[in-house]
Homo-oligomer: A and B are copies of this chain.
Amino acid sequence: MMDQKAPTPPDADVSGVLTQLYGYITAAQLPDDGRLPPERELAELLGVKRTELRKGLAALEREGQLWRHVGKGTFVGPKPPQLVDIADLVQRSNPVQVMKARIGLEPELSRLAAINATVAEIATLAELNASCRAATSWREYEAYDARFHHQIAEAAHNPILIALLETLNAVRRAVTWGRPRPSHSSPPADHHSFEDHDRIVDAIAHREPGGAADAMRRHLQNVEDRLIGRAP
C-alpha cells in the first residue's frame, strides 16, 4: 500500500481530465482563433477543479498542442508569431548585429535582382550609383546609398524580402541615429563603396546572380570591417 503511487507518474490522474478536455475541444466548436473559455469557467463546465484542469492544460501545452498567455487566454494550435516591435528591437541590438543581418539578407537580394531586374530598374540603379559619387556631404551620400540598396530590393521583385529589408533599415537608422558624424566633410573620391557599388551594378547588369551576390557580400564585409575598426 505504500508503493501504490510509485507506478503512477505525477500526471497519472490527469488522464481523466485530458480525455474530457480532448472531447470538449472536438465537440464544442470554438472560435476561429482557437480560444477556449477561461480556466475558471472551463473548470466548472467540465465539472473539475481549476487545479486539476490546469494540470491537464499544462500537459497539453508541453506537447505543443496548446499555448497560453496571461491576460490573453488559452488557445488550441500553434502559437501565432509576434510582430516585430522596432523600438524594442533597437534596444537589444548593436551596429554589428545590424551588419550581420544585412550580410545575411542583401546578397540574396542582389542575386535575385540579377535574375529579375528590368532594364529600367538597372538604369535607375546606375543613376543612384552616380548620385552617390556626386554627393557633396555624408548626409547626402547616405540618402542615395540607402536608395541604392533599396532599389536593388525592388529589382529583386520579391515583396517579402523588400519588407524585410525595410524593417532592417528601420532598425539600422535607429541604431545608427545619434552617432557622431562630420556634417561638413564629404566622402573622399576613393571611398571604397564606390568601387563596390560599381561591381554590384555590373554583375546585375550582366545577369550574373552569383557575381552579384558575391559583390554585395564583399561590399558589406568592407563596411563591417570599417565599422569594427579592422580597416581604416
A contact residues vs B (CB 8 Å cutoff): 64, 78, 80-84, 86, 89, 92-93, 97-98, 100-101, 103-105, 108-109, 112, 140, 143-144, 146-147, 158-161, 163-164, 166-171, 173-174
Contact = CB atoms under 8 A, between A and B. Distances in A.
Given A103-B108, A143-B64, A146-B78, A163 B159 contact: no
Contact of A64 (B147, B158, B173): B147
A98 B173 CA distance: 26
Sorted from nearest, which 5 A-B pairs have the closest CB atoms? A104-B108, A81-B170, A84-B163, A101-B160, A92-B159
A144 B171 CA distance: 30
Contact of A170 (B83, B93, B109, B143): B83
27 contacts: A64-B143, A64-B147, A81-B166, A82-B166, A83-B83, A83-B86, A83-B166, A83-B167, A83-B170, A84-B166, A84-B167, A89-B160, A92-B159, A93-B159, A97-B158, A97-B160, A100-B160, A100-B161, A101-B158, A103-B108, A104-B104, A104-B105, A104-B109, A105-B105, A105-B164, A163-B167, A164-B164
Contact of A163 (B89, B143, B161): B89
Copy number in the complex reads 2
Judged by DSSP, the binding face of A is helix
Contacts of A170: 80-81, 83
Contacts of A109: 104
Contacts of A103: 108
A140 B146 CA distance: 42
A77 to B, nearest CB: 9
A174 B79 CA distance: 12
Nearest to A100: B158
A168 B163 CA distance: 9
Given A64-B143, A64-B147, A78-B143, A161 B83 contact: no
A12 to B, nearest CB: 22
A159 B97 contact: yes
A101 B161 contact: yes
A37 B176 CA distance: 26
Contacts of A108: 100, 103-105
Contacts of A97: 158-161
